[in-house]
A and B are shown apart, each in its own frame.
Chain A
Amino acid sequence: MSEEQFLDPKETEFDIRTEGGRKAFIEAALFVSKDPVDPVRIMNYLKIKNVQEFERLIVKIEADYKEKGGGIMLQRTGGGLQLTTKPYMHDYLKDFFTITSTSRLSVASLETLAIIAYRQPVTIAEISDLRGVNSVGPVKNLLQKKLIKISGRKKVPGLPALYSTSKEFMLYFGLNDLSELPSLEELTEMFEEKEQPSLFKSL
């Protein structure tokens, strides 16, 4: 029996320089990666010099996943590319893997993260002051979860540690870049729209 019989008929035709070949390679590389893959690395490997060209390729892959109607999609997160399941698979997966509870961040942790995300780098004392309560606990908890990191020391007496968000933070919240978080001005506008000034005036 010759070995050829075991080959995928497509294999002999496969050419990584074609668009189809590149798409297939990207899919395979993302499939085996546990962490998001750096797009620059893929571009270098495929010798794609033009960012727009690469972007077109990625948009096509995204469209493929949508059209195919499968359970997988492409996500841009933490500055990288990653394959994830589609949102509506969640309930079925939970059921299939008999997962009873999902761990989420506590209110204290979320508040602490909110401060770090918008004020970084920031010390525990500053966080505690803004929250009005001692925040050593949530900071430790977030460090353990690797959502924040010590990014330096503040040049004040005692040299307290300064905390910043980590790459895990972006992955956890599905952010591609920190700039995707709305700016403080945008946030204030968003809140002002939601509030009803007329109600206050009448009081």
Chain B
Amino acid sequence: MEIDTQEIYNVRTGVFEGPLDLLLHLIKKNKMNIMDIKISEITSEYLYYLQDRTRVNPSREGDFLMTASTLIYIKSRSLLPKPEILQEEESPEDRLLHSLIEYDKIQKISQMLKDMEEETLLLWKREEVVEKFDTREYKLEEVSSFQLAEVFLNILKRKEGENFLYIDSKEYSIEKKWNEILALMAADGFLEFFQYVATLKTIEDVLVSFFCILEMIKRNVLIGVQKKLFGPISLWKTDKEKEKNE
């Protein structure tokens, strides 16, 4: 089969979201009716697209291949004489057709939502200047060399302190930390992560605390909550943990 590559590359520049996206595109490009797909044509074109790795999302390759095998299966079925119908539940053709019809709807609803999004993005609400728009231009404040020196001195001081104070390397243990963190949370029921880390004196302490918090989250003792992206993270006791205490 001949494929006009020039045309294909002009149709669309984006990457296909998934196999249904690509299939629908091919059906529309060839002006076929969904209800009457010329399966052999579509299969060849589909496989042709699949060869070009830049056109399909590589992390979805498995999904694309899966549909490719379905297409080939349908194609081969159409070539073989059909056995007397054994009241099949649902033929692969029907299943694919159903998926395509549904996906077609989804794409149209998506387009409708996109239009609505564009419309509402034109209306600004209170305090949305920061939230709604990503300026991608963060203003960085200039730091004088004195400030830099000061920070450096602080680090040196801290390191110095470490050298003297830090004798026993087993001073920190997850178990100790565990109880320490729970004790700190006893009053308010939560802990501001950054504030807490700031109170820690040595790097080992920070590391052990961090591992301990991860472990606590993993065991469903704590949950980490963040109000917005890059915002402060606070740690809360889970309901399970609260019940245990009561």
By a CB distance below 8 angstroms, the chain A residues around B126 are 33-34, 83
- Which residues of chain A come closer than 8 Å to B102, judged between CB atoms? 130
Q: Is A6 an interface residue (CB 8 A)?
A: no
B18 touches A133 (CB 8 A): yes
A132 touches B117 (CB 8 A): no
Q: State A86–B60 Cα separation when bound (angstroms).
A: 41
Complex CA–CA separation, A203 to B35 (angstroms): 12
- Cβ contact within 8 Å between B99 and A174: no
Residues in B neighbouring A107, C-beta threshold 8 A: 14, 17, 110
Give per-residue flags for A100-140: 1 if the beta carbon is below 8 A from chain B beta carbons, else 0: 11111101101101110110000000000011111000000
Which chain B positions have C-beta within 8 A of A156? none
What CA separation (Å) do A62 and B132 show in the bound complex? 25
Classify chain A: how many residues form its interface, as a range: 35 or more
Q: A134 to B112, alpha carbons, bound, how many Å?
A: 23
Q: Is B122 an interface residue when CB atoms closer than 8 A count as contact?
A: yes
Closest to B126 in A: A34
CB pair A200–B31 under 8 Å, yes or no, is yes
Interface flag for A166 (CB, 8 Å) = no
Q: Please, how many angstroms separate the alpha-carbon atoms of A199 and B32 in the complex?
A: 9
A contact residues around B105 at 8 Å (CB): 118, 184, 187-188, 191
Residues of B within 8 A of A100 (CB): 135-137
Q: Is A90 an interface residue (CB 8 A)?
A: yes
B82 at the interface (CB under 8 A from A): no
* A99 and B20 alpha carbons, distance in the complex (Å): 36
Count class of interface residues, chain B: 35 or more
Q: Do A187 and B108 touch across chains, with their CB atoms under 8 A apart?
A: yes
Once the chains are docked, how many angstroms separate the CA of A111 from the CA of B103? 9
Q: Which of B60, B114, B121, B123 lies at the interface centre, i.e. has the most chain A CB atoms within 10 A of its CB?
A: B123
Residues of B contacting A73 with CB < 8 Å? 123
| Contact indicator B133/A101 (Cβ below 8 Å) | yes
Residues in B neighbouring A200, C-beta threshold 8 A: 31-33, 36
Residues of B within 8 A of A190 (CB): 108
Question: Which of A97, A133, A144 is in CB contact (< 8 Å) with B63?
Answer: A133
Residue from the list B117, B124, B229 in contact with A90, Cβ < 8 A: B124
**C-alpha gap A73/B133 in the complex (Å):** 21
Known: A102-B121, A105-B117, A130-B102. A111 touches B32 (CB 8 A): no
Interface residues in B83-119 by Cβ distance below 8 A to A read: 99, 102-110, 112-114, 116-117, 119
Are A110 and B114 neighbours in the complex by a CB distance under 8 Å?
Answer: yes
CB distance from B225 to the nearest CB of A (A): 12
Most A Cβ at <10 Å: residue of B103, B113, B119, B129 = B113
Against B, the Cβ 8 Å flags (1 = close, 0 = not) of A65-95 are 0000000010100000011111111100110
Q: Is B246 interfacial (CB-CB < 8 Å)?
A: no
Tell me which of B31, B36, B63 contacts A132 (CB under 8 A): B63
B17 engages A115 (CB within 8 Å): no
Which B positions have Cβ atoms within 8 angstroms of A? 14, 17-21, 31-33, 36, 57, 60, 63, 67, 99, 102-110, 112-114, 116-117, 119-127, 129, 132-137, 229
